[in-house]
Amino acid sequence: MEVGNRRRDMINYWYFFLFFVIATVFSFGLLAVISFIRYKRNDYGDKSLPYECGVDPATPTARESYSIRFYLLTLVFIVFEVETFLLFPWAIVHDRLKLFGLIEVLIFLAILGLGYVYAWKAEALDFRRGIE
């Protein structure tokens, strides 16, 4: 392809560049207009304090740490939730997979069951407050 042909082909697409420029200018212009006309918030008194159903906040800041058991329980939940998504494709085509598909899903469920038993024995499924 010659250089002249490439240049002619690129000239045919000038409106994509024009659209990009107009969209960018419009976006920044809209942000500038909004910054001028937006409501200026005045934080005074109790306006900046957190509101918890009409009572004083339980903690002075939102930076309170949680027990590690909460995170472990969450990870275990995510693992067992993802396995349901892995079973959906098998459920759709199980009649075409015949015995091979059945054996594969039984192996998958056995490994998952072993993980569940391990999590149960390691007490990762227990969520007790105050125990780290």
Query: pTM of the predicted model, to two decimals?
Result: 0.46
Residue 105 pLDDT exceeds 70: yes
Residue 131 inside a domain? The answer is: no
Region 5-13 average pLDDT: 75
Q: Which residues of 103-127 are buried (b: 16+ CB within 10 A; e: fewer)?
A: eebeeeeeeeeeebeebeeeeeeee
Identify the residue whose tokens are 């015995």.
99
Mean pLDDT throughout 54-70? 67
Provide the pLDDT for residue 24.
Answer: 97
Instruction: Tell whether 129 is covered by a domain.
Output: no
Residue 132 domain flag = no
Residue 126 falls inside a structural domain: no
Which domain does 112 fall in, by range?
Answer: 3-121
Residue 88: inside a domain: yes
Residue 20 lies in a domain: yes
pLDDT at 60: 66
CATH code for the domain in which residue 102 is found: 1.20.58
Residue 12 lies in a domain: yes
Percent of the chain with pLDDT over 70: 75
- Both tokens of 52, joined, read 């918890």
Residue of 69 and 87 predicted with greater confidence: 87
- Is the residue at 130 inside a domain? no
Give me the number of domains the chain comprises. Answer: 1
Region 121-125 average pLDDT: 80
Does residue 110 carry a pLDDT above 60? yes
**To the nearest whole number, what is the mean pLDDT of the chain?**
80
Spatial contact of 130 and 65, defined as CB atoms under 8 Å apart: no
* Tokens matching residue 10: 């690129």
* pLDDT score at 46: 67
Tell me how far apart the alpha carbons of residues 132 and 128 are, in angstroms, rounded to a whole number.
9
DSSP string spanning 78-131? HHHHHHHHHHHHHHHHHHHHHHHHHHHHHHHHHHHHHHHHHHHHTTTT---TT-
